[in-house]
Amino acid sequence: MKTIVTGGAGFLGSHLCDLLLSKGHQVICIDNMVTGSERNIEHISSDRFTCLKNDVTKPIYFGDRIDYIFHLASPASPVDYLDLPIQTLKVGALGTYNMLGLAKEQGARFMLASTSEVYGDPLVNPQPEEYWGNVNSIGPRGVYDEAKRYAEAITMAYHRYHGLDTRIVRIFNTYGPRMRLNDGRVVPNFIGQALRGEDLTVYGDGSQTRSFCYVSDEVDGIYRLMMSDYTLPVNIGNPEEHTILEFAKIITRMTGSSSGIVFKELPVDDPKQRRPDIEKARKLLGWEPKVGLGDGLRETVGYFQKIPGKSQGKSHP
C-alpha cells in the first residue's frame, strides 16, 4: 500500500505517518515545512518512508500507483493561520484541488482532514455532523474556517461528479508530543507558561469550553475512517468538555507550578463551546477515545520538559 500524507511533518501528520508505517504502508510525506518540522520525523528510519519537501498548492505528479492520500496540509493553529492568511486559503483551495486531481488520476482513496472550526461559534452543543455551523466568513478566523468549508465542498463535488472514493474527518482539539511550544494553542501555551513559572493567560472569563483528544486516539480514528466505507463527514474528538479556566487549573496542578492566572480580552469570533458528538464514530467505526486527560497530559508535559529553553511566542486560545 503506497500512501501519501500531506502535512506529514506536522504534529498530527507525523503521528499518522508512524501509525501507517506500523500497519505496513509505504509512506510518502509531503510537507513544505512552513509549520511542519523535520524534527517531527527524524526518528523514522524505515526504508518504506520518504519525505518530499514540496508545496501542494503546486501540481504534483507520481509515476507509481498511489493507493491512499491523507490530505492534512494546512496551518492549523490561530497563530499560524492569522500570520499566513493567504497561504491558508490557498492550501485549502488549490492544495485540496491538486490532491483530489492526483487521487482521481491514480484511482486513490482520498481523505480530507477537516476541522471542528467548520462549525464556527456553534449554537448547538455538542456539535453533530449535520449541524451547518455559525461562521463569520469575513472575520479574522474566516481564512481557516472557510478554507476548510470550501475543501469539504470540493471533496464532495469530486465524490459526486467523478465518483472519487473520498472521506472527510472533522478533527477536534488534539494534543500530545510534537506540538510546537509556541504554536499558540491552549495546551502548549498553558504548559509552557506553567513550566516557566509565568502566569497562565486565559482569554475572556475562561468559561468557554474545549474538549481535548490525545493524539494516539485521534490518528486511530482517522485511520479507521479511511478504511471504512463511509463517505460523509465524521467527527473525531473527545467529548469530555472542560472550561478553559478549569483546564488552566489542571495544568498548574499537574506541573506543580505556582503560576497564577491573568485574564485578557477574548479574541474576535472565539468559539464559546467546542465539543464533538461522536455517535457516528462509535457506531460506524467502533471508535471512541481511550486515553484519559491525566495520562495524556503527563506524556505531553514530559515531552515539553525536555525542550531546551521552553521559549514562548505569540499566543491565541
Q: Which residues are catalytic?
A: 144
- Whether 15 contacts 72, CB under 8 Å: no
**Main-chain phi, psi angles of 170, to 5 degrees:** -100, 110
Cα separation of 271 and 266, whole Å? 10
Cα separation of 72 and 75, whole Å? 9
Sign of CA dihedral 261, 179, 97, 277: negative
Whose CA is closest to 15, among 295, 296, 288, 306? 296
**Secondary structure, 3-state, 237-295:** CCCCEEEHHHHHHHHHHHHCCCCCEEEECCCCCCCCCCCECCHHHHHHHCCCCCCCHHH
